[in-house]
Amino acid sequence: MRHNLLNSAFLRGVACLLFALLFGLPAAIFAQEELPRIRFVRDPDPAPTFQLKDLDGKDFKLEDYRGKVVLLNFWATWCGPCREEIPTLIELQKRYKDRLQVIGLAVDEDDEDDVRKFVTSQGINYPIAISSIPIRIAYGGVTALPTVFVINPAGAIVQKHVGLFNPWLYETEVRALLDLPIATRVETFADNGEIFLQHADRATTLPGVDLTKLSPEQKAAALHKFNAESCDCGCKFTLAQCRIYDPACQISKQRTAAIVKEVSGEKTPAKSMPAAPSSASPVSPKQ
Q: To 5 degrees, how large is the angle CA 32–CA 37–CA 42?
A: 150
Q: Do 160 and 73 contact (CB within 8 A), yes or no?
A: no
Catalytic residue among 16, 82, 233, 235: 82
- CB under 8 Å to 3, separation ≥6 — which residues? none
Catalytic residue among 16, 79, 242, 249: 79
Q: Do 185 and 195 contact (CB within 8 A), yes or no?
A: no
Q: To 5 degrees, how large is the angle CA 98–CA 101–CA 107?
A: 160
Query: How do strand 69-75 and strand 147-151 relate by DSSP bridges?
Result: antiparallel
242 is catalytic: no
How many angstroms from the chain centroid is the CA of residue 108?
20
* Residues with catalytic function: 79, 82
